[in-house]
Each structure stands twice: as C-alpha cells, then as structure tokens.
C-alpha cells in the first residue's frame, strides 16, 4: 500500500490499531449556565494539566523545542477569544460540548481550507485540542499508547501530537496513518523521534488487524502487510543500510555547503515562528531564508502591535547571531484568512486581494510591520522580502514605505540598519516574465516554487482533478525558474529558493546549473541537501540540466532525473 513517506527509515513489527473513541453526544439546553461554564473551565484546566505532562514527557523523548508543540495546544485552548465566545454560547443556553465544538469547528474550517500544509496543520492542532477537551467533558478515557509493547507499528486514522507524546521511543518501530502530510506536527515529531512513518494511506484502518506483521518504508512511502520471509530479509537489510546512511549524514554537520568542485552555496531554513530560528541552528542551517510572519497574526485576535512584532523579529535575529534572517512581510489572503482583518469573501481569492496588494492598501498596518522589522535589523543581519510581486510599481511603492519608516525612526532616534536589503518573492508568472525589470529594483530574489508552479500551470494542487499538472518538473515551470535566475545573475543580485523544490534531489543539479546561490529548506533537510550539493560539479550539473531541458513532458523530465540519482 502507498502513502506519503514523512519520516525516513524502515520499520518492521506488529500492528497496534489505535481505535478512535466516539465523541458523539446529544446537545441539550442548560438552565444553570454558571455551573455549565464552571464545568467547561474545569475541563479546560484538566486538559492543560494533561497536556503539560505530555509536554514534559516529550521533552525527555524528543527535546525541549518539540515539547513546545504540545505547549502550543495549551495556547490554543487558552485563547481569550475562543474562551470568551464559548462562554457566550454557554451563557445563551448551549451545553459546554456543543459550545466548544462549534467554536473549534469554525477555526478548523478556516485553517483546513488553506492550500499550504503549514496553515492546514493548524486545523489538525485545533482538532487535537477539540478531541482532548471533549473527551474530558464526555468522560472518555484516551488510548494508552504508552503501554504498547516493543516492536509495535502504530496504525491510526490520525495520530495527533498528543498521542505521539505518549510514545516510548524504544517500543515503537513505525507509524502508519490514514491522513497527514510531511509538514504536520505528527510528522515533525516522528522525524525527531526517528520513527519511520507513512501517512495518507486512506484504507489503512480497514486493511490491518492487531498483531499482523507489517513493514513500514518511510523513505518510499510504502507499507507491506503480512510480508513473507524474503520480504522480511530484504527490508531488514534495507533498514541497516538506511541507519548507516543516516549516520554518515552527520559527517556534513558543521561543514560548509560546497559543490564537488568547490563552489560555495548558502543553505538556510524556512521558519514560521521566532523560536523556530533555534531549530534552524540545531539543524545546522546557515541562517533563515524565509520567516513567514503571518503566523504572528494568526496566533492573535487582533493585529499584533509594533512592539510585539519587534520582539518576535528581534528574538529570531539574536538567536541567529549575525546569520542572515529574511523576513517576509504579511502574506495573507488566498488560503490564509485572518478573521479579525475582515477580508471580503472573494470568488477567486488566489487571484484577488492578498499579500503585498493588501499591505499596500492598508498602509498603517504595513508600516507597523516595516518599522518592527527595521528596529529588529539593529540586532542582526535582517532583510525585508515582499511576497506575490507582479509588477515594478508594487516594489517601488513598498520600498517607498520602507524609506518613510526609516525617516520616522531616524527622527525618533531609534536604531536600525540603514543599508537593510529589500528583495521579493518571485512566485508569479508575471514576476518571472519581467524578472529582468524587477532585478533592477531589488537587492535579491527568492523563488517560491509552490505558488510559482500553481500560477504558471494554472493548477490548484489541492484539486485532485488537476493535481497531475502541479509539478515543478513541468518544462514551463523549469523554464520560468531558469529565466528568473538568469535575470538575477545578469543584474548581479543573489537568488535563492524557498519553495519545497529547494530540497528535491532531482532539482539540485538543475539549480546548480542555472546558478542558484541560496537554498532555503526545512531544518531536518539541511544535512541531506548539503550532501546532495556536495555530490555535483558544475560541469556534470550542466550536462544533466541540458538534457533535462530538452524534454517536452514532465514525465520525461522526471524519469530522466530519477535515473541520474
């Protein structure tokens, strides 16, 4: 059976099905609303106590930073807006279960509609919180994963962070779920715990039985049920090989990122929160190529103040100790809605009022963020990056606002980096076509391959009917990437890539040949990408790129590049 490999390695063991308890109940009207409110808040406190204990356990098994995922669940359930709205619903006569569930479902629907995996993960977090609090309200005992015996492969419809926090690492050899993705918190925790995991195997719970032999290939995204002796021996050998390769990756820790012929590259990380900068450093990243600031806004019920934003950006800059920190300005709209900003409903939000377009029309909000970034630049190597640029006017208008903010800060005698660099995300077909013009206005480019692929192919990767078109290896997308890099090089500005393609081994030789100077990837991918880069010379990469660019179809390109690995 096939799924998505989210944590590499081979696991060989026996199935333990994690059955979901029914959380069904009959909503009812309450008359003693004060008592019902107290019952709800007692359940929340119990949930927080349980979650804090799970975080402590996770701190021991995975590390302090990973434990923050569980502490994030406490932040969700303690959100003043969420609690206030639930209290209002209870005050109106709804029972605690229905009040809490309806508010959680509202947030889940907002986040689940997102295109990008990182935002969708927030829906999974809220679902986890909802399940935990409802279980307490309904008196349901949760599954005891901590009691799983050695050699266990956990199989579940969804394995939440709270479940993974119960794992005894020495007993769990694999994880298989019906849902999930590479960016889910469960996938992140599985990688940290070094447990092979395959997610998005839709029929898993109807296909496996407790105690059944199973092989989990987290590298290939495959599972084998009831394997024969030959398969067991084959995969035992593969497991040993994988463990050896993982050990060898550590050889690249602390080493410069250079190709086989000595060309140096910048290998940095993508982050969503200031504390993620520490994860980037722990992963041996050389800085941050993309700080997604919208998550600072999503975690609040009102626009974060200049001081709040400044402290977040300052924290990341200090953690990085002078290493580059590229901060992307607010990128909302499309798949990322923030209710309190009151974005109007649009028929086609991805083509609508979003990202830089929204910011330029809401100057006070935009200038608040720019001032905060500028102030943080006094504490590190900070750059500003505008998202979703489609024309030169947007860049010039954004830069003019940066200059306004500089003048204000100078008048207020507040320090900032007067030579701060300003660049753009090249993630639209328009920006690719006029990359030569945009390069004259910018200090750097960063190619966002996720949106660039979608906009170039006019294909929504979340739409299964057209997802076959959504591939960075489409000849049109590759030509777009190549032309963007060429325009940057001709205008003597650095060009990076912060989309998922930056960590794709098939893309590495092409990007080396095209002349990319920076790779921005997830922290767990750093050492592997450094190894990929070290395996190529410019001459060899040029030969592979020339051949790849000669093909007419995505399949031909993919088949050829697979043969070169």
Catalytic residues: 185, 498
Q: Which residue has the tokens 């829906």?
A: 123
CB 21 within 8 A of CB 135: yes
Cα gap 10→31, rounded to integer Å: 56
Cα gap 275→472, rounded to integer Å: 30
Total H helices, total E strands in the chain: 23, 15
Cα gap 154→151, rounded to integer Å: 10
Determine the 3-state secondary structure of 422 from DSSP.
strand
Task: Tell me which H or E stretch contains 271.
Answer: strand 266-271
Q: What is the 3-state secondary structure (H, E, C) of 155-166?
A: EECCCCHHHHCC
Cα gap 552→401, rounded to integer Å: 44
- Buried b / exposed e over 271-292, threshold 16 CB at 10 Å, is bbbbebbbbbbebbbbbbbbbb
Cα gap 147→150, rounded to integer Å: 9
Joined together, the tokens standing for residue 55 give 């975080």
Phi-psi region at 366: left, alpha or beta (left = phi > 0; alpha = psi -120 to 50): alpha
User: At a CB cut-off of 8 Å and minimum separation 6, what does 410 contact?
Assistant: none
The candidate with the shortest Cα–Cα distance to 128, out of 201, 174, 81, 72, is 72
Cα gap 556→385, rounded to integer Å: 35
Cα gap 335→316, rounded to integer Å: 26
For residue 368, CA distances in Å to 49, 364, 373, 378 come to 37, 6, 9, 16
Cα gap 385→400, rounded to integer Å: 14
Count how many residues are written for the chain: 565
Cα gap 12→403, rounded to integer Å: 59
For residue 552, CA distances in Å to 75, 471, 476, 501, 504 come to 50, 14, 9, 20, 21
> Angle 243-248-249 (CA atoms, 0-180°, nearest 5)?
100
Q: Which residue has the tokens 């779920």?
A: 177
Determine the 3-state secondary structure of 390 from DSSP.
coil
Joined together, the tokens standing for residue 237 give 């050998």
CB 452 within 8 A of CB 474: no
Please tell me what DSSP assigns to residue 352.
Answer: S
């Amino acid at each position: 059976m096939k799924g998505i490999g989210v944590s590499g390695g081979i696991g060989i063991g026996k199935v333990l099905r994690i059955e979901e308890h029914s959380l069904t109940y009959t909503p009812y009207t309450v008359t003693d609303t004060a008592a019902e409110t107290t019952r709800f808040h007692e359940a929340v406190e119990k949930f927080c106590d349980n979650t804090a204990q799970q975080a402590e356990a996770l701190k021991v098994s995975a590390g302090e930073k990973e434990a923050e995922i569980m502490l994030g669940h406490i932040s969700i359930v303690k959100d003043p807006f969420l609690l206030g709205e639930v209290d209002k619903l209870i005050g109106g006569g709804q029972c605690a279960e229905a009040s809490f569930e309806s508010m959680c479902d509202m947030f889940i629907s907002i986040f689940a509609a997102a295109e990008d995996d990182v935002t969708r993960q927030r829906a999974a977090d809220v679902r986890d919180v909802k399940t935990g609090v409802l279980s307490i309200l309904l008196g349901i005992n949760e599954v005891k994963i901590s009691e799983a015996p050695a050699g266990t492969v956990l199989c579940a419809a969804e394995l939440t962070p709270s479940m993974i926090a119960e794992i005894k690492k020495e007993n769990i050899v694999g994880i298989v779920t019906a849902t999930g993705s590479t960016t889910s918190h469960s996938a992140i925790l599985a990688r940290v715990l070094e447990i092979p995991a395959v997610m998005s195997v839709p029929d898993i719970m109807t296909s496996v039985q407790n105690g059944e032999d199973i092989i989990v290939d987290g590298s290939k995204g495959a599972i084998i049920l009831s394997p024969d002796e030959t398969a067991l021996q084959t995969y035992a050998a593969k497991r040993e090989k994988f463990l050896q390769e993982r050990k060898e990756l550590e050889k690249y820790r602390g080493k410069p990122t250079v190709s086989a012929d000595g060309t140096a590259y910048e290998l940095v990380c993508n982050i969503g929160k200031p504390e993620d900068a520490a994860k980037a450093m722990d992963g041996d990243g050389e800085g941050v190529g993309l700080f997604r600031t919208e998550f600072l806004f999503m975690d609040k019920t009102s626009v974060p103040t200049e001081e709040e934003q400044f402290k977040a950006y300052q924290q990341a800059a200090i953690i990085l100790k002078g290493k580059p920190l590229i901060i992307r300005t607010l990128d909302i709209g499309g798949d990322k809605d923030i209710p309190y900003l009151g974005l109007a409903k649009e028929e086609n939000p991805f083509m609508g009022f979003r990202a830089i377009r929204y910011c330029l029309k809401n100057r006070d909000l935009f200038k608040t963020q720019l001032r905060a970034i500028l102030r943080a630049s006094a504490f590190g190597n900070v750059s500003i990056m505008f998202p979703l640029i489609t024309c030169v006017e947007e860049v010039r208008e954004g830069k003019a606002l940066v200059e306004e903010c500089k003048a204000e800060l100078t008048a207020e005698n507040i320090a900032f980096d007067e030579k701060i660099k300003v660049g753009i995300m090249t993630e639209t077909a328009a920006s690719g076509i006029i990359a030569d013009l945009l390069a004259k206005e910018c200090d750097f480019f960063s190619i966002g391959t996720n949106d660039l692929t979608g906009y170039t192919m006019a294909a929504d990767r979340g739409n299964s009917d057209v997802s076959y078109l959504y591939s960075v290896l489409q000849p049109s997308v590759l030509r777009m990437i190549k032309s963007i890099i060429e325009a940057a090089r001709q205008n003597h500005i650095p060009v990076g890539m912060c989309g998922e393609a930056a960590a794709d081994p098939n893309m590495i030789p092409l990007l080396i040949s095209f002349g990319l100077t920076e790779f921005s990837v997830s922290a767990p991918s750093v050492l592997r990408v450094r190894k990929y880069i070290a395996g190529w010379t410019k001459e060899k990469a040029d030969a592979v790129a020339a051949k790849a660019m000669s093909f007419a179809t995505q399949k031909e390109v993919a088949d050829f590049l697979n043969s070169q690995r």
